[in-house]
Every structure is written in C-alpha cells, then in structure tokens.
Amino acid sequence: MRESWRWFGPDDPVSLDDVRQAGAREVVTALHQVPIGEAWTVAEVEERKRIIESGPRSRLDWTVVESIPIPDDVKRTGGVATRSIAAWIASLEALAACGIRIVCYNFMPVVDWCRTDLEWELPNGARAMRFDLARFAAFELHILQRPGAERDFDAATRARAKAVYEAMTEDDVAALVTNIASALPGSTTEPLTIPAFRDKLAAYRDVDAAVLRRHLVEFLQAVTPRAEALGVTLTLHPDDPPRPLFGLPRVASSGDDYAALFDAVPSPANGMCYCTGSLGAGPANDLPAIARRFGPRIAFAHLRATRREADGSFYESDHLDGEVDMVAVLKVLLAEDRARTADRKIVFRSDHGHRMLDDLRPTKRTNPGYTAIGRLRGLAELRGVIRALEAG
C-alpha cells in the first residue's frame, strides 16, 4: 500500500517539507482555486504538479486528486446537465495528460462533510471534530428553520435541541452556522448564508433517494467511458455522515449503496474511496466486510475512526481506538493489495487527525482535521500496524 498525504496547495499551513518529513511519498490535492463547474486546464495541472514534484529534497509525486467538485446542477438534474459534465470530463482529461490516474469525488447535495464542532475538547486536552445530534437539530429547527424538520427528530432530541439553542449566544449561533453552512477545508460545495441555504434546499424539493441515485448513475454513464479510456479510476467518497441531512437523500452510505452503483455502471473505472471514518459512523456498516466485498474496486482509502454515541452523535477518535477494527480492515486491504500489480497498489492516507501538541498554540494557523501532528500520529500508528501485519 502506498502512503499519501492530503495537501491543500501553496496556502496550506502544512508545507510540502512537512509532508516529506512525515514520510509520505504521494500527495493528494486539487485545484481548489478553480470555481466549481469550470474545467481544469493542462497548464494549471502542470503548474501544481511542478510545485509538488520539484525541489532539492526527497521526491513527492502527485498521484490522487481529491476532488473535482461535481456541480449542483448534475446532482439535481443528472445527465441533462451536459455543460457541467463536459467540463468535468475536460478536467479529467487534463489530469490524465499529466499522468494522474486516481480521482476522488462525492455526490452529497448542498453540503458535503458535516460537523457541528471543529474544536471539541477531548479528555487529554487535544481537539477533535464532532457531530452532535442535539446541536445539529438546533441548527435545523431553530436557525435554518427548515419546514418539516421536526419530523426528522424524536421528541427527546427536539427538547434537547431547544435547550441547546436557548443557551446559545449570538457568537455560538454564528460559529454553528459557519461549521455547517460554510465551505470547510476540502469542501466541494459552496459556502452558504442561511437564506441561500434555504433556496438550495427548495431546489431539491423533488429529489428523493431514487432520483439522486439515478442522477449519479447518469453522471457515471457519461464520464466512466472516458475515464476508462484514459486509464483513470474514479473513486466515490461515502456520505459523511452516512445518514440523510436537511431532508436530503444520501446514496453512498452503505455497502448496498455501492453495490447498486457498481451493478448499474460495471466499468472498472467506477471505483470506491474506502473511507473508514465516514462508513464507520454508520453502526450498521461492517467495515472489514465492506472491504472484502469491494476489494477490487478500492483504489484509494481514507483511514480514520470514530466513537459513536447512542443518539447518533459521534466524534473523531484516535485512529486505532474507535469502533472501526482498524487491524481487521488493514488485513483485508493488505491481502487485496498483495494481489495487485505495482501500478495498481492501494493509495491510502491518514485522515482527520486531532489538533494537539504544538498545533494547539492559539497563534498557529491550522485547518480543522488536517493538522500536521495529528495526522502524523495517525500515519505512524497505521504504518506500525501495516509493518506488523506484513512481518507476521
């Protein structure tokens, strides 16, 4: 398996030299500066590739894109969004021309990954990201005031949400809106004000799970022939969290969701981003079983863990100490990896580390979930398990 590191470009507070010192050899990045829906050019890709791969120190290679954002009209209307799909294919072609063969993407409408807390304090003083159901319900019911939202929460959750909201200051409300509605690091959706958020939701009024899945299939039917011809593997990231949000459907939350997509579009270019954190937040998901079921489809893996709570809340735990049996997961991935040729080895990265140690300094700029030290700890733990399993 090939170690990689997510890097957000020249403005990332974690430098490429930091990546080198962490020991990762491959870089996962994207052209975040290009507006959603516009085609990436070969010149733009080459420039980013030059920044990553040049320099006097040990070599880094840009091998994975995370992500080419899928425009909102594709999710709402599917295959008829021909202009947006053509631009997406043009971006794919520019990447392939520069030798980049793995592309991660998601199909989550309106917002992608969602957390209510970005700096939740753990007992040891480190900070983690958290999805708190009561705080999320407070946002839905009392800030966004989504019509019909009360039907999505039981009476106990609604009562807790009301108490949470009534205890909030204006700053607390603003912070919660930022955490949920703004574009966080790595987001592939646009930041939204509350009025814009309501407008977006209204545009999805007639899009249920069956319609959203059909639109995803139509998108894949349009793009996978070109990806296959270019030798590029598309890897769909799971929903995060794997549950409906804001009355919107989710269509990549379980093994059965992925099976339906692979059955509909059997092209080998139609692959999976195996994210143990996103899938692991769903209590019904058996992570080792999913890895065994779809092993040949896994080109890219995000390895992290969560601790779930009875009401559906969760927080991001140490990489080896969540509900995910990471040792069992890695056994499956290593067995799959051993069966592959050198050019098809699974690329993985440690995902969403804690903010800890020197990264806790108030003056130090960090991206939530993407601090250097927390991810380095995660990578070291994963590397240790891998070495032990390989030796055994």
> Do 145 and 213 reside in the same domain of the chain?
no
**Assigned domain for 337 exists:** yes
Averaged pLDDT, 342-366: 96
Residue 58: its pLDDT value, please? 86
Same domain, 211 and 345: yes
Q: What is the DSSP string of 47-115?
A: HHHHHHH-SSSS--EEEEEE--PPPHHHHHHGGG-HHHHHHHHHHHHHHHHTT--EEEE---SS-SS--
- In a shared domain, residues 347 and 238: yes
Active site residue 11: no
Are residue 271 and residue 239 in the same domain, yes or no?
Answer: yes
Return d(Cα 127, Cα 107) in angstroms, integer.
Answer: 28
- CA angle 351/353/357 to nearest 5° reads 160
213 and 336 fall within a common domain: yes
Q: Is the pLDDT assigned to residue 187 strictly greater than 80? A: no
Q: Where a domain ends, among 136, 166, 198? A: 198
Q: Is residue 304's pLDDT more than 90?
A: yes
pLDDT of residue 55: 78
In a domain, 176, yes or no: yes
Q: Which of 275, 315, 337, 354 is catalytic?
A: 275
Residues β-bridged to residue 215: none
Sign of CA dihedral 36, 38, 44, 49: positive
- Evaluate if residue 190 carries a pLDDT over 90: no
Spatial neighbors of 152 by CB under 8 A, at least 6 apart, are: 140, 244, 247
3-state secondary structure of 31: coil
Residues 260, 264: Cα–Cα separation, whole Å? 6
Between 117 and 58, residue with greater pLDDT: 117
CATH number at residue 380: 3.20.20.150
Q: Is the dihedral of CA 214, 144, 157, 153 positive or negative?
A: negative
354 included as an active-site residue = no
Are 24 and 71 members of one domain?
yes
Q: Residue 14: inside a domain, yes or no? A: yes
Mean pLDDT of the chain: 96
At 74 the pLDDT is: 98
The single residue of 105, 204, 315, 370 carrying the catalytic annotation is 370
Cis geometry, peptide bond prior to residue 56 (ω within 30 degrees of 0): no
- Residue 183: pLDDT band (50, 70, 90) is low
Range of the domain at 130: 117-198
Please indicate, yes or no, whether residues 229 and 272 belong to a single structural domain of this protein: yes
Residue 368, in any domain of the structure: yes
263 noted as active-site residue: no
- Assess whether 215 carries a catalytic annotation: no
Same domain? For 218 and 130 the reply is no
Q: What's the pLDDT at 185?
A: 65
Average pLDDT estimate for 221-242: 98
Among residues 302, 318, 354, 359, the one annotated as catalytic is: 302
Question: Does 296 score more than 70 pLDDT?
Answer: yes
Co-location of 146 and 236 in the same domain: no
234 pLDDT higher than 70 = yes
Task: For residues 345-361, give the mean pLDDT.
Answer: 97
Identify the active-site residue in 72, 257, 351, 359. Answer: 351
Percent of the chain with pLDDT over 70: 99
Q: Are residues 95 and 144 in the same domain?
A: no
Q: pLDDT of 13-54, one tens digit each?
A: 999 999 999 999 999 999 999 999 999 999 999 999 999 999
Whether 273 is catalytic is no
Q: What is the distance between the alpha carbons of residues 191 and 180, in angstroms, rounded to a whole number?
A: 9
| Residue among 237, 258, 273, 359 flagged as catalytic | 237
Tens digits of residue pLDDT in 73-116: 999 999 999 999 999 999 999 999 999 999 999 999 999 889 99
Residues 166 and 233 in one domain: no
Domain boundary among 198, 226, 245: 198
Evaluate whether residue 162 is within a structural domain: yes
pLDDT at position 186 is 66
Q: Give the model's pLDDT for residue 56.
A: 80
Is 314 inside any structural domain? no
Which of 273, 352, 354, 359 is flagged as catalytic?
352
Q: Within a domain: residue 163?
A: yes
Query: pLDDT for 137-160, tens place per residue?
Result: 999 999 999 999 999 999 999 999
Do 219 and 287 share a domain, yes or no? yes
313 part of a folded domain: no
Q: Where are the alpha helices (DSSP H) in the chain?
A: 16-22, 42-53, 72-77, 82-97, 133-138, 155-166, 170-181, 194-203, 209-230, 255-264, 276-280, 287-294, 326-338, 372-391
Last residue of a domain, one of 198, 232, 265: 198
In total, how many domains does the chain have? 2
